[in-house]
Amino acid sequence: MKMNRTLVILISLMLALPMMGQPHRRGDEKSFKAKLEATKVAYFTEKLNLTPEEAQVFWPVYNKWWGERQEANKKVRESMDAIEKLEEKGGYTDPQMKKLIKEYSKNLALESEIFDMYIEEFYKVLPTGKVAKIFVAEKGFRDMLTKMWREKKHPRPDMPPHSGRPDPSKKPE
């Protein structure tokens, strides 16, 4: 049973990952996001070793957390953008800048509050060890996507595109 689940996850990853490296047009954006989400679900399910019962209660909590994190992060970026614009423009008053800094600080605190609140929610649906793995999986998934993006934008000359293996026809220098 566990072997079958692992096999399904690995096959899903193998099918979806090469597609994510392909350029996509605006019309394909929904398809791209769906593939990315499916890959993320497979990746996390494997890394957290979720049982079907755990997955059923984990994903709604995780998805809600993810949405709230995205909103809070957007506020942080927007408040930083406002600080940068005012700073670049110059000629601002101290009260103007203090107001923007306070807003930025408030948004950072909101991110932290959301994080703390959802850690407690995760403890309600998963054992502590699996809660820790959420954050390890987040980093691993982000690193994997970053690596894929870098290889696509700046491929190494000794590697064929998207294979991750050295090109045997090229001799190491």
pLDDT along the chain (173 residues), means of 10: 47 46 60 88 94 95 96 96 94 93 96 95 96 95 90 65 53 53
The structural domain count of the chain equals 1
Model confidence, pTM = 0.69
**In which domain, by residue range, is 117 found?**
66-125
Would you say residue 141 lies in a domain?
no
Tokens for 130, please give them: 């699996």
Do the beta carbons of residue 61 and residue 150 sit within 8 Å? no
